[in-house]
A and B are shown apart, each in its own frame.
Chain A
Amino acid sequence: AAKNYPNDGDSVQRLFYDTIKGGDFRSREANVYRLAQISNHIIDQCVAQGVPFGREYGGTLSNRSFGGAQVSRTFYARGQTGQQLLLGAYQALLRQITAGQVTMRPRTEMLELVVVNGHAKGIVVRDLVTGKVSSHAGDAVVLATGGYANVFYLSTNAAGCNVTATYRAYKKGAYFANPCFTQIHPTCIPVTGDHQSKLTLMSESLRNHGRVWVPKKKGDARTPRDIPENERDYYLERKYPSYGNLAPRDIASRSAKEVCDRGLGVGESGRGVYLDFSEAIGRLGDQKIRELYGNLFDMYDRITGENPYAVPMRIYPAAHYTMGGLWVDYDLMSNLPGLYVIGEANFSDHGSNRLGASALMQGLADGYFILPATIGDYLAKNAGEKIKADHPEFKKAEDEVLSRVQRLLAVKGKRTPASFHRELGALLWEFCGMTRNAAGLKKALARIPELRDEFWKNVNVLGENESFNQALEKAGRVADFLEFAELLCQDALDREESCGGHFREEHQTADGEALRNDEKFSYVAAWGYQGIGKKPALNLEPLKFENIALAQRSYK
């Protein structure tokens, strides 16, 4: 947030500028400025809720730096700020439940959006314990269902994260915007084997004190301590002198991939780079580093069996966040009236690359401040007829959900949903990951329908609907990923430029940086569903920048 407590020159204007530039000039100017303004109110709100932010000795809030910014504007709660902000929001929600304003239904999954007379009027859900499918009508629908990074199977997201809610809305007419803007986070623990089920994020904050390097010599198998300084390539410091190890995520990720592609990677798989704290430990002492990163270092040790106080961490990029999502207007409403989308589920604010510590900032801005102010407009204008859950559209949706569930159970093939998910994820990581090209994307677009076809002929889901059935839940989510993946690749193929997290090899500068084509692609690609396997319809929202000059995004 742009409080400027450290007096290092931060301001709303600067946060606005950093975020637009960080997003590589592919976000809506007005949205981003509003986000920068609201950022300060978010901190006020979180403190009032009792979020235990770190404090200075004088009792004021502490700050630190994050990638893509030269000022210390990030507030933190040890190495779990996101968790603590979530608890603040969760606790506030509990207060509303107690006050009778909210009914909470845990272990319940939305499987369909219901549209009546062109307006979003409710949802159909499945109870994950009993299998019971039911309808819920409302005056409006708000989706805060997160992002689709799990389409890559291996990501930093929780296992349950999926694209189902937003994808179902897309199939009912809500535009899906810029799905190819996916963020790969540079500092994650590398893959150890085929059994890998997820990738663990090592907080961005580590880049405040860790130095990224690889050996200069290919195949250098010496332990890191034995490699002298002059035989190490601190490649981020070399390539980007002014941001160094705090270069934004997309740039840091591509740089890591590039050195590993050249055979300079470390670790068993050769897919890793060092994040070294020895200089910082030497300068600040063990105790200070422990205070800042204790829990993160312990977590790393638990997972790898290596001690980062003694040896450098090994990290590698992993799919982490998705800037793309359902299209929304300035009021956060979809083109589908009555459907509001907030947080990572929508496309707004981050352009083609998100800066660190901003996901929750945007989510909280959307939910705490913007939506409450804008949804009233829709509710007031549509106060008329109350649609109830016995409307025929609801029954139709319930039948669709049940028949889909029964279809999944009836295939009785030979492959588990997880095996399809793994294959899809590997395909997308290869052809639609950190770098993309036309040939690869076309290959993916040819393979995905084949894999989807095989899924519906060969998936094996045991058990029944009327029970707690995790395989059935998973199968439904994978089925949606198998359709969504096509949209993702189509968008990547269509956008013939490089910007932020979307890097097309055919469009790069002489020194390998992203080359935008502002003349042809300064727009939001809002896709409209046309049917399974059919190319979606492109709706362009041109992006005009009136308060900031478009520039080549440089962090040198």
Chain B
Amino acid sequence: MRLILRIWRQKNTKGRGGFVEYPVDDLSPNMSFLEMLDVLNERLVQKGEEPIAFDHDCREGICGMCSLVINGVAHGSEKATTACQLHLRHFKDGEYVTIEPWRAKPFPVIRDLVVDRSAFDRILQAGGFVSVNTGSAAEANTVLVPKRDAEKAMDAAACIGCGACVAACKNASAMLFVAAKVSHLAWLPQGQVEAKARVKKMVAQMDREGFGNCTNQYECQAVCPKEISVAFIAKMNRDYLRSGEEEGS
């Protein structure tokens, strides 16, 4: 099959960047989207053109590296599917496909389709952990966790930190990402002691990084490859409001 790709090229962070059109022939419907880019890159190099830079690693939807906006939708329009899991059988022969990086001020472009997402690391550093030293943990079954709570924690913990939620949001809000980590730990007893401090610190860091605010459009949930629910945002909002109570403020 044939596809005509319109791909964002940008030399470096300061570069202006722009779309370049690449018709690609002899593709197989069983190829993955990134394998298609590999094929295109091989051909470009044969012609003496530098290949298109894009982030990827596991190529099976768990590492959170791949970050392509395909035809205007983060990770493409197959539900609960990352760009690397997307296969060409979902495209029509001869179709135009636009490929762009995540667009958000806190995610500066490094090159072509690669963006810098260290803002997410800094948000997690602000409190996305349980403060426990290694070596002296209590016996694993000491604290029982209701099955329902464990399932909810797992639903939230499934977030892979890819940033599609930010890319899809018109405000470039990172609420779904922050809510996922806050909720993961909030649903477990181990996360309770620091729950209030955690939500305050992480939201503060999120604001400092320059992510926008949430206006309840739910675009984030629609594109999330792990189907993280906006209900976690609601939970985080409640937890955030409650976190002020302790200090009496």
A158 and B63 contact, CB distance less than 8 A: yes
A195 and B140 contact, CB distance less than 8 A: no
B121 and A193 contact, CB distance less than 8 A: no
Using CB atoms, name the residue of chain B closest to A75: B140
Contacts of B131 in A (CB 8 A): 95
Interface presence of B125 (CB below 8 A): yes
Interface presence of A528 (CB below 8 A): no
Interface presence of B210 (CB below 8 A): no
Per the bound structure, the CA–CA distance linking A452 and B125 in Å amounts to 43
0 or 1 for each of B172-197: is its CB under 8 Å from A? (1 = yes): 00000000000011011011000000
Pick the most buried of B12, B57, B129, B131: most chain A CB atoms within 10 A of its CB.
B129
Per the bound structure, the CA–CA distance linking A94 and B130 in Å amounts to 10
Assign chain B's interface to a size class. Answer: 35 or more
Pick the interface stretch among B37-45, B95-103, B211-219, B235-243.
B37-45
Contacts of A43 in B (CB 8 A): 140
Per the 8 Å Cβ criterion, residues 31-67 of A in contact with B are 40-41, 43-50, 52-61
Per the bound structure, the CA–CA distance linking A50 and B182 in Å amounts to 11
B89 and A77 contact, CB distance less than 8 A: no
0 or 1 for each of B39-61: is its CB under 8 Å from A? (1 = yes): 10110011011110100111111
Interface presence of B221 (CB below 8 A): no
Interface presence of A160 (CB below 8 A): yes
Per the bound structure, the CA–CA distance linking A46 and B62 in Å amounts to 20
A193 and B31 contact, CB distance less than 8 A: yes
B129 and A197 contact, CB distance less than 8 A: no
Contacts of A80 in B (CB 8 A): 62, 158
B150 and A54 contact, CB distance less than 8 A: yes
Contacts of B132 in A (CB 8 A): 45, 48-49, 92
**With A50-B191, A52-B184: A467-B12 Cβ-Cβ less than 8 Å:** yes
Interface presence of A198 (CB below 8 A): yes
A59 and B12 contact, CB distance less than 8 A: no
Contacts of B57 in A (CB 8 A): 158-160
Tally of contacts, chain A with chain B, CB under 8 A: 173
Contacts of B158 in A (CB 8 A): 78, 80
A98 and B137 contact, CB distance less than 8 A: no
Per the bound structure, the CA–CA distance linking A52 and B49 in Å amounts to 47
B141 and A60 contact, CB distance less than 8 A: yes
Contacts of B135 in A (CB 8 A): 41, 45, 368-369, 372
Per the bound structure, the CA–CA distance linking A5 and B138 in Å amounts to 16
Contacts of A458 in B (CB 8 A): none
Interface presence of B81 (CB below 8 A): yes
Pick the interface stretch among A21-29, A244-252, A295-303, A391-399.
A295-303
Contacts of B154 in A (CB 8 A): 52, 54, 77-78, 84
Per the bound structure, the CA–CA distance linking A58 and B126 in Å amounts to 34
**With A59-B144, A60-B144, A197-B34: A49-B157 Cβ-Cβ less than 8 Å:** no
> What is A's interface to B at a CB cutoff of 8 Å?
3, 5, 40-41, 43-50, 52-61, 77-78, 80, 83-84, 87, 91-92, 94-95, 97-98, 104, 106, 129, 158-160, 192-193, 195-198, 200-201, 298-299, 302-303, 305, 368-369, 372, 414, 416, 418-419, 460, 462-463, 467-468, 470-471
Contacts beyond the supplied A50-B129, A160-B57, A468-B111: 18 A-B pairs with Cβ under 8 Å: A3-B140, A43-B140, A48-B190, A49-B132, A55-B146, A77-B157, A78-B154, A193-B31, A195-B31, A195-B38, A198-B59, A299-B60, A305-B87, A368-B134, A372-B135, A418-B38, A467-B111, A470-B53
Mind listing 22 A-B residue pairs with CB under 8 Å?
A44-B137, A48-B132, A50-B188, A50-B190, A52-B184, A59-B146, A60-B141, A61-B141, A78-B154, A80-B62, A84-B154, A87-B157, A91-B124, A94-B125, A94-B129, A98-B125, A198-B60, A372-B135, A462-B48, A462-B49, A462-B51, A471-B50
